[in-house]
Amino acid sequence: MIKIKKLLSKKDKSKIVCLTAYSKNVASILDNHCDIILVGDSLGSVLYNFKSTRNVSLDMMIEHSKSVRMGVKKSLMIVDMPHNTYRNKSVALKNAKKIILKTKCDAVKLEGGGKVINIIEHLIKNKIQVQGHLGLLPQSQKGKFKVKGKKISEQLRILNDAKLLEKAGVFSIVLECIKTPLAKKITNELKILTIGIGASSYCDGQVLVTDDLIGLNQINARFVKKYSNITKHINSAIIKYKNEVKEKKFPQKKHSY
């Protein structure tokens, strides 16, 4: 709770930095630079080549989160609750407790607004810290991903959902792929944090999938900026290794017992 209070104090003062991690090695690097490390169900597409996050299981999330936990010392660690693990209050509480017990994470994230508000309230009443998620909801999305908040009716619904989530007690909300004016309005009207992904610089912070920004995952979504081309560096290292093996330059005596 201390970490969350510290984050909330950054509202309107300092931008929140959030990235995803699915393993200890990556998490230990991110921990030096991030406020929040999210073990996202995006691991379904990034690591397992699933077409939908709906195929990610609770056990997958827990095992990856256990690895991430070993690399996180200072950042707030949040774990996505996968599809169908919070279909009602009792199931949600059982699974949220299991996630926290097994992974020692600080909070869980659920997708949706009014439809899951009773479930979120139930978790928070039972001392579970929750991050919300509005706009594009990958667990519910069917077909092509589309920007949210174009129609007035949709804008009003998302804004109302954001206020419901704040009232329920979530400490932050991920806003995914929503129009800039709506992201700005929500951020200005809420006292809690908004974390954007494809939702403009007006949000209190930003989140990206780490594999996307380092160029390991070949995605061309508009909201992704590639800060590195790690694939190029990996390829270069592998070529050097291959050549040294073939030319009998590796291993040398110092690499042998």
**pLDDT (0 to 100) of residue 181:** 98
pLDDT digits (tens, 9 = 90+) for 75-85: 999 999 999 99
Q: Which of 63, 166, 176, 189 is catalytic?
A: 176
> Which residues, listed in sequence order, are joined to residue 131 by a DSSP beta bridge?
109, 172
What is the per-residue DSSP string for 207-250?
EE-HHHHTTSS----TT------HHHHHHHHHHHHHHHHHTT-S
Whether 176 has a pLDDT exceeding 90, the answer reads: yes
Q: How confident is the model at residue 22 (pLDDT cuts 50, 70, 90)?
A: very high
Q: Is 247 a catalytic residue?
A: no
161 and 179 Cβ atoms separated by less than 8 Å: no
Rounded CA-CA distance 161/77 in Å is 24
Split at pLDDT 50, 70, 90, the class of 234 is very high
Q: Domains in the chain and their CATH numbers?
A: 2-229 (3.20.20.60)
The DSSP letter of residue 73 is S
Predicted TM-score (pTM) of the model is: 0.96
